[in-house]
């Protein structure tokens, strides 16, 4: 927690910075895995897609952190009861569709189908659910909103950008297998989120 004097001078203690960096990396892992899937199915300029996905995932991570921070504990009970189910269903639907499409088109010589804009938005929401919960926690600890949301969003943006490029590289050799793997990864992410919120 920063004192008023430290906040006025923009001082960030090294331990706070390291803690936020570790937290940001942890939150960005789901977005990173999902972005690889985006790269696998993406068409056109990989750099443009990477930037688009990075901005979406990073923006939602920062935005959901800020939203959770601003709402504080007011709606924690309501949202916390259903957020993991929402994330699980979104990831299950998108991942399942990828696997089904790949199986259907396996012997037809068709290219991998790119994710729609709606699917990208759904992934952005699903991979940033945890950021909302973290925002609530940060508000209770009286941490700095701008610093926290900015760092969480920036790390997610960078890792998502890299993830798309990795996915694009993978699909060139094993396109159809990579598409199936990408769908399974998304389903796995959904299961992981569900387990983390209901059993741990």
What tens digit of pLDDT does each residue of 127-143 get? 888 888 888 878 766 67
- Say how far apart CA 23 and CA 35 lie, in whole Å: 19
C-alpha to C-alpha distance for 35 and 116, rounded to whole angstroms: 14
Taking only the tens place, the pLDDT of each residue in 153-200 is 999 999 999 999 998 887 655 666 777 777 888 888 888 878 877 775
What pLDDT is attached to residue 149? 92
Give the Cα separation of 33 and 145 in Å (integer): 26
CB within 8 Å of 21: residues ≥ 6 apart: 151, 155
Domains of the chain, by residue range, sit at: 14-198
The pLDDT of residue 187 is: 87
Cα gap 105→132, rounded to integer Å: 37
Residue 170: exposed, middle, or buried by beta-carbon count in 10 A (0-12, 13-18, 19+)?
middle
| pTM as predicted | 0.74
Q: Residue 66 and residue 79: Cα distance in Å, rounded?
A: 15
Residue 113 has pLDDT above 90, yes or no: no
């Amino acid at each position: 927690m920063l004192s008023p004097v430290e906040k006025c001078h923009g001082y960030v203690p090294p331990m706070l910075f390291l803690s936020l960096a570790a937290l940001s990396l942890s939150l960005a892992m789901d977005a990173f895995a999902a972005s690889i899937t985006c790269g696998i199915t993406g068409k056109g300029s990989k750099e443009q897609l990477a930037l688009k996905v990075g901005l979406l995932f990073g923006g939602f991570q920062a935005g959901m952190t800020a939203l959770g921070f601003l709402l504080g504990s007011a709606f924690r009970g309501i949202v916390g009861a259903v957020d993991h189910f929402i994330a699980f269903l979104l990831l299950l639907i998108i991942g399942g569709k990828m696997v089904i499409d790949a199986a259907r088109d396996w012997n037809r010589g068709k290219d991998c189908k790119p994710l729609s804009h709606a699917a990208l938005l759904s992934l952005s929401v699903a991979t940033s659910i945890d950021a909302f919960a973290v925002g609530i926690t940060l508000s209770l600890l009286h941490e700095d909103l701008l610093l926290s949301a900015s760092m969480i969003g920036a790390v997610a943006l960078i890792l998502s950008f890299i993830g798309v490029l990795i996915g694009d590289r993978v699909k060139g050799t094993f396109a159809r297998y990579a598409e199936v793997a990408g769908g399974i990864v998304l389903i796995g992410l959904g299961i992981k989120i569900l387990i983390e919120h209901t059993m741990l």
